[in-house]
Amino acid sequence: MADELTGAVDGVHSHNEEHVAEAISHLIQFFREGPRNLALLTALVEQVQEVEDANWAHHNAFDVDTAVGEQLDFLGKRVGERRSDRTDDVYRTAIRVRILVNLSNGRVEELIAIAIGLSPTADVFVRELYPAALEMSLSTYGTTTLQRAYLLLRRAKPAGVRLLLTGGGATIGSVDGSTVGGTIGSVDGSTVGFTVGGGT
């Protein structure tokens, strides 16, 4: 449902480019037929349209999905992600992942979202090990490295929980020097963990 004052639909704002037409449509017929009334109303409401257009241009310039160049650098600095000679598209993905890391409460679903953010086509295997450890395996890790993926996931995981990350034949981290141990939870009666995501 649209909010007549703000133009928001179900709480989501959108760029309204029809302020003049909407203002004229609200006039009663008597005033709509007067050219001076229309000219005055149009002149006034065009200023409102200019303000809205400027606000949306600013919004788009500093939105992760649409920002480029220096605006993207600014957003990266705000969330703690440096560019390091990455292209805008690669850097944009890194900023999105960094935002997920910054907002993480350490839940397994959030760690999976971070892993998939690094590589949307990755298969992500997760296993919780007793008493406080987590084993993750990524089939791919996108444009980053396994070490970088490990640092991001380690930062997002709960404090006191150890992390073991494998991918591409390499392993980073340890669980008491071993990848074995008890498992918390099961899937279909099996304690081997679970796999999500992935592409063929």
Q: What is the pTM of this model?
A: 0.61
Distance CA 131, CA 164 (A): 14
Q: Which helix (H) or strand (E) holds 196?
A: strand 194-197
Distance CA 63, CA 67 (A): 5
Q: What is the pLDDT of residues 119-130, one digit of tens each?
A: 888 889 999 888
What integer pLDDT is reported at residue 190 of this predicted model?
Answer: 44
At position 94, the amino acid (one-letter code) is A
What integer pLDDT is reported at residue 146 of this predicted model?
Answer: 87
Distance CA 22, CA 46 (A): 11
Q: Which residue has the higher pLDDT, 190 or 91?
A: 91
7-11, 143-147, 152-156: least confidently modelled range: 7-11
pLDDT band per the 50, 70, 90 thresholds, residue 55 = confident
At residue 175's C-alpha, the angle toward residues 95 and 192, to 5°, is 85
Distance CA 17, CA 27 (A): 18
Burial class of residue 135 in the structure, from the number of CB atoms within 10 Å of its CB (0-12 exposed, 13-18 middle, 19+ buried): buried
Distance CA 73, CA 68 (A): 8
pLDDT band per the 50, 70, 90 thresholds, residue 178 = very low
Extents of the domains making up the chain: 19-61, 119-197
Assess whether pLDDT exceeds 60 at residue 198. Answer: no
What integer pLDDT is reported at residue 3 of this predicted model?
Answer: 53
Contact between 78 and 72 (Cβ < 8 Å): no
